[in-house]
């Protein structure tokens, strides 16, 4: 540094003043404006006034100093070979960019990063374009980018390469084995790792571009598992199970002996994903109707009353095992009757099922009369916005009533009616 400039570091107030000058220049994108001296001590104001050749009292009374005035006076001193910006950079020891220059530079670096990624994974152009758009769901991506650009580059490339090696349609793979196969590390996609979020985000964007209007970037463990399952990835194939009774199953032309024995002995099965993937066909032991219930206690009560009826319990949010079983039943030309709690979460689940199975699924026990009968004291005011994404007009009347009453309706209150419905519409009797 020019030894003449040491005076600005030694004299009181100048570093403080130059920091204010720097921020003013950065915000205005030019040398201009003025800064306040209200926070400066008397000796600091006196030092600055002396440099400017002004009475200390006059500068203190004015309470501010214009950058152009300082630069004008600078030309009259022994520092006439410096303009103000150069002086600030030399004294503060940094290159000073305006905020616009800084943003332009940042954008250029980010664009270069994306272009490098496009060269490395050209098949992922659709995902990279989404990331480049800076949508709210990409903020975390750019936050990781700022921390370690080269490490993040390698991670993004590896994750997309893994995405390109997902199981074939109709096949399933456990997450640790998928991770080992595609990255060499069985824990690479462990929960809460950055790689897991990258993979899930890639899947989410793929869902959106495929026309899935209900797609959301998953946050909960259940949402993450559901999205992974859409691509044939299982986090856990033992705990991922579905509960049922009154169903038969087969692989090829061979009737499954366990399912057959369970139907004959009126036994309820908890069927894990591990076993479901071995089954090719599932159908009711009697009739063509299957009764699907969200709530486990309600389902258990119904199974007690109707031990021969084809009944399935989803235990709330439907996991991969549930989707797989329901898919196989629909493939066997069955009609599904679904009933869940009448609260925002229950409506969202039912609507998702209806969209997936269309005319093969009937919403059951979830109308305005059932809602009035099943009302609880639980306030759902803060959860009502979840209903905003329900577009089907079939729900309009019920949702309108829920917005008015603002209470949850629960299945336990209408169990007798649900049992009566099954008896009246099923060949199993009592």
Q: What is the pLDDT of residues 404-430, one digit of tens each?
A: 999 999 999 999 999 999 999 877 654
Per-residue confidence (pLDDT) for residue 430, from 0 to 100 = 44
pTM over 0.85: no
Q: Is the pLDDT of residue 336 over 90?
A: yes
- Give residue-wise pLDDT tens across range 151-184: 999 999 999 999 999 998 778 888 999 999 999 9
Mean pLDDT of the chain: 91
- 345 and 383 in contact (C-beta within 8 Å)? yes
- Give residue-wise pLDDT tens across range 19-34: 999 999 998 989 999 9
Q: What gap in Å lies between CA 248 and CA 282, rounded to an integer?
A: 6
Q: What gap in Å lies between CA 64 and CA 125, rounded to an integer?
A: 53
- Give residue-wise pLDDT tens across range 212-230: 877 889 988 878 888 898 8
Q: What gap in Å lies between CA 233 and CA 230, rounded to an integer?
A: 7
Express as a percent the part of the chain with pLDDT over 70.
Answer: 98
Q: What is the mean pLDDT of residues 90-110?
A: 87
Contacts for 328-332 with beta carbons within 8 Å, 24 or more apart? 328/279, 328/280, 328/281, 328/282, 329/247, 329/282, 329/283, 329/284, 329/290, 330/357, 330/360, 330/361, 331/281, 332/281, 332/282, 332/283
Per-residue confidence (pLDDT) for residue 399, from 0 to 100 = 96
Q: What gap in Å lies between CA 143 and CA 115, rounded to an integer?
A: 18
Sorted by where each starts, the structural domains of the chain and their CATH numbers stand as 3-96 (no CATH), 100-234 (no CATH), 241-425 (3.40.1360.10)
The widest CA-to-CA distance across the chain, in whole angstroms, is: 106
Among residues 398, 418, 419, 420, the alpha carbon closest in space to that of 409 is found at 398
Q: What gap in Å lies between CA 204 and CA 227, rounded to an integer?
A: 8
Q: What gap in Å lies between CA 40 and CA 164, rounded to an integer?
A: 61
Q: Is the pLDDT of residue 253 over 90?
A: no
Q: Is the pLDDT of residue 2 over 60?
A: yes
- 190 and 196 in contact (C-beta within 8 Å)? yes
Per-residue confidence (pLDDT) for residue 99, from 0 to 100 = 83
- Give residue-wise pLDDT tens across range 355-396: 999 999 999 999 999 999 999 999 999 999 999 989 899 999
Q: Is the pLDDT of residue 238 over 70?
A: no
Q: What gap in Å lies between CA 400 and CA 373, rounded to an integer?
A: 16
Q: Is the pLDDT of residue 11 over 80?
A: yes
Per-residue confidence (pLDDT) for residue 428, from 0 to 100 = 62
- Give residue-wise pLDDT tens across range 279-332: 999 999 999 999 999 999 999 999 999 999 999 999 888 888 899 999 999 999
Q: What gap in Å lies between CA 136 and CA 172, rounded to an integer?
A: 31
Q: How many CB atoms lie within 10 A of CB 426?
A: 22
Q: What gap in Å lies between CA 45 and CA 34, rounded to an integer?
A: 15
Per-residue confidence (pLDDT) for residue 410, from 0 to 100 = 94
Looking at 374-414, list the stretches that DSSP marks H as alpha helix, in order from N- to C-terminal side: 396-405
Lowest mean pLDDT among 10-19, 81-90, 197-206, 231-240: 231-240
């Amino acid at each position: 540094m020019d030894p003449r400039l040491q005076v600005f570091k030694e004299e009181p107030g100048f570093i403080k003043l130059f920091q204010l000058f720097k921020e003013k220049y950065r915000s205005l994108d030019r040398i201009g404006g003025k800064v306040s001296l209200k926070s400066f001590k008397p000796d600091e104001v006196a030092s600055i006034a002396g440099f400017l050749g002004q009475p200390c009292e006059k500068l203190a009374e004015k309470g501010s100093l214009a950058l152009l005035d300082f630069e004008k006076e600078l030309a009259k001193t022994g520092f006439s070979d410096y303009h103000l910006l150069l002086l600030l950079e030399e004294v503060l020891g940094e290159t000073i960019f305006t905020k616009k220059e800084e943003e332009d530079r940042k954008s250029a670096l980010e664009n270069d990063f994306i272009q490098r990624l496009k060269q490395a994974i050209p098949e992922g152009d659709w995902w990279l374009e989404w990331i480049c758009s800076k949508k709210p769901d990409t903020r975390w991506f750019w936050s990781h980018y700022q921390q370690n650009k080269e490490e993040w580059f390698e991670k993004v490339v590896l994750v997309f390469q893994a995405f390109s090696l997902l199981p074939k349609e109709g096949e399933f793979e456990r997450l640790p084995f998928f991770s080992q196969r595609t990255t060499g590390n069985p824990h690479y996609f462990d929960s809460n790792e950055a790689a897991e979020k990258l993979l899930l985000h890639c899947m989410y964007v793929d869902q959106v571009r495929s026309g899935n209007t209900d797609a959301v970037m998953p946050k909960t463990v259940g949402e993450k598992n559901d999205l992974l399952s859409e691509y044939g990835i299982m986090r856990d194939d033992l705990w991922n199970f579905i509960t049922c009774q009154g169903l038969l199953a087969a692989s090829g032309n061979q009737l499954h002996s366990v399912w057959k024995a369970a139907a004959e002995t009126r036994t309820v099965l908890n069927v894990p994903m591990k076993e479901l993937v071995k089954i090719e066909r599932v159908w009711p032991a009697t009739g063509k109707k299957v009764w699907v219930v969200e709530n486990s206690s309600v389902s258990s009560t119904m199974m007690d009353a109707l031990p021969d009826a084809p009944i399935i319990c989803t235990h709330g949010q439907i996991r991969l095992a549930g989707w797989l079983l329901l898919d196989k039943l629909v493939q066997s030309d069955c009609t599904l009757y679904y009933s869940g709690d009448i609260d925002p979460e229950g409506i969202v689940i039912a609507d998702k099922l209806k969209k997936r199975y269309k005319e093969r699924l009937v919403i059951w026990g979830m109308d305005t009369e059932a809602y009035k009968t099943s009302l609880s004291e639980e306030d759902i005011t803060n959860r009502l916005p979840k209903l905003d994404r329900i577009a089907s007009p079939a729900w309009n009347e019920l949702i309108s009533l829920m917005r008015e009453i603002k209470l949850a309706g629960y299945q336990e209150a209408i169990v007798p009616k649900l049992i009566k419905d099954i008896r009246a519409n099923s060949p199993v009797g009592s």
